[in-house]
Structure 1
Amino acid sequence: MADLDSQIPYWDAAAATKTFTHPLHLPWLGGINRHAAILDYGCGYGRTLQDLEHQGFDNLTGVDTSPGMIERARLLHPAMRFTVLDEPPLSPYPDAAFDMAVLFAVLTCIPTEEAQHRLITELHRVLKPGGTLYVSDFLLQNDERNRIRYDRCATHYDNYGVFETDDGAVFRHHPRSWFPTLLSDFEARGSRHITVNTMSGHESTGIQLLVRK
């Protein structure tokens, strides 16, 4: 994965200060066995895994490209399993190792389409047949601040929706039409729009998707 699609120095520097806010939609978890093997890819400091634990799930694994994020996760959640990814998007797990994978606000951190496809291919590999992928991410925003950012970066990154932040990161917001293409190897099970705060505190529109292998 190219440096642009991992940005490890940025995430290591941000590990102690950033707060993640994408919510779990509890009705989507109702039919999942509480002993199911769940992978949180791009787990950060383990916030979503903690939410899953609070719902009774007990077989939880988190992976992230950022050693700083994993260090924070291990301090906050010493009983959980966390691994730093050495060669993202590849993970150290065998085929069909997990019943479910969650991918919360990770695609926004991967600007290029090629890298996003590689990640989804890896998640497809480690999910069992019939396994569930739960995606939560950001849609294109319609406010002036974001439109200016998209326009400024569109030519340089050859992708409308990619933008640079004041603190040195490159992120991406997505048209809704992108997700069926990206997740074409999965069967759609659910979709919902959400309102969520970004790491900088701006209210934004997001999307959550539930798909099945």
Structure 2
Amino acid sequence: MEDPGSQIAYWDGVGATKTFTHPVNLRRLAGVGANARVLDYGCGYGRVMAELSDHGFSDVSGVDLSPTLVERGRELRPDLRFRVLESPPDLDCAPAAFDVVLLFAVLTCIPDSDAQRALVAELSRVLAPGGLLYVSDLVLQDDERNRARYAARARRFGTPYGIFATDDGAVCRHHDIAHLRALLADFDLVEEHEIEVATMNGHRSRAVQLLGRRR
């Protein structure tokens, strides 16, 4: 299994300078109370946390494996609560500790399927029954550039189609939508919407947002 923290050198280096852009659709959280316990897993520098806090959510916290990104977030928003993940994907908290967990552009950074399943299982553990998992991530792209790099990586390493290396050294994954649905098989799928986003390297890409309810 590929350790989901194995790219820490990237995220503490060039990755810590990136701008993240997946949009928060607050309508999807319209039924969530302002006092709900919200966790942003893979929070980076706290962009999503800040938006939620500014919108009135009073109990928002974030975790990330990169100390450099966390420090960037603390400098930008000292009013928010950040923690560094010591042993991802494990969270140092009790079961059912949160009402909402956000997972924005995190699965793309964890190319290994087993590691992705372990992460979703941990998030299910810390979500209260009826709690929401809000996922935003990238799906397979159909342009020639991406198809070529998916195929090259699959031929060389035998990895699932959709995994590739960025020009600046990260190993990422774009997902078959069926794979993302399977990851959330233990949740009731409430919503699914395709969107377009700018990637951290400035490319326009297709993405999907899924909202799952913990059973």
Q: Scaled by the length of structure 1, what TM-score is found?
A: 0.97
**Amino acid in structure 1 at the alignment position of 2:43:** C
Q: Which amino acid aligns with 1:205?
A: R
Letter in 2 for 1:77: R
Shift of 1:6: 3.9
Unpaired runs of 5+ in structure 1?
none
Residue matched to 1:141: 141
Q: Secondary structure, in 3 states, of the residue corresponding to 2:71?
A: helix
Q: Aligned partner of 1:64: which letter?
A: D
Hey, what's the Cα distance between the residues in 2 that align with 1:118 and 1:141? 25
Aligned residues: 213
Instruction: Show the counterpart of 1:175.
Output: 176
Q: CA deviation at 1:54?
A: 1.9
Instruction: Specify the alignment match of 1:51 in structure 2.
Output: 51
Shift of 1:14: 2.5
Moved more, 1-10 or 77-86: 1-10
Which deviates the most, 165-174 or 9-18? 9-18
Amino acid at match of 2:24: L
Decide which moves more: 1-10 or 171-180.
Answer: 1-10
1:26 Cα deviation after fit: 1.9
Alignment-derived partner of residue 166 in structure 1: 167
CA offset digits 1:118-160 (Å, max 9, x no partner): 0000000000010000000000000111111101101314210
Distance 1:4 1:16, change over 3 A: closer
Secondary structure, aligned partner of 1:194: strand
Misfit runs of 4+, over 6 Å: none
In structure 2, the CA distance between the partners of 1:78 and 1:157, relative to structure 1 (3 Å rule), is farther
Secondary structure in 2 matching 1:177: helix
Aligned to 2:21, the other structure's residue is in SS state coil
> Corresponding residue for 2:202?
201
Q: Could you say what secondary structure the match of 1:94 adopts?
A: coil
Aligned counterparts, 1:116-135, within 5 A: 116-135=116-135
* Matching residue of 2:41: 41
Q: 1:130 aligns to what SS in structure 2?
A: strand
Identity of aligned residues (%): 54
CA change 1:4–1:90 in 2 (3 A) is closer
CA deviation map 1:70-123 (0-9, x unaligned) = 111111111111111111000111110000000000000000000000000000
Seen in structure 2, the aligned counterparts of structure 1 residues 48 and 100 have a Cα distance that, compared at 3 Å, is same
Tell me if structure 1 keeps the 8 A contact 2:4–2:88: no
- Indicate yes or no: 2:103 matched with 1:103: yes
Looking at structure 2, the residues matched to 109 and 194 of structure 1 have their Cα atoms a distance apart, in angstroms, of 19
Does the 8 Å CA contact 1:150/1:160 hold for their aligned counterparts?
Answer: yes
Partner AA of 1:14 in structure 2: V
Give the drift of 1:210: 0.4
> What one-letter code is carried by the residue in structure 2 that aligns with 1:168?
G
Identify if the C-alpha distance between structure 1 residues 33 and 168 changes in structure 2 by more than 3 Å, giving closer, same or farther: same
Give the alignment's TM-score, normalised by structure 2: 0.96
Q: What RMSD over aligned residues (CA atoms) do the two structures have, in Å?
A: 1.2
Q: CA deviation at 1:194?
A: 0.5
Aligned equivalents of 2:212, 2:4: Cα separation in 1: 27
What is the rounded CA distance, in whole Å, between the counterparts of 2:16 and 2:125 in structure 1?
A: 32
What is the distance in 1 between the residues matched to 2:4 and 2:48? Answer: 24
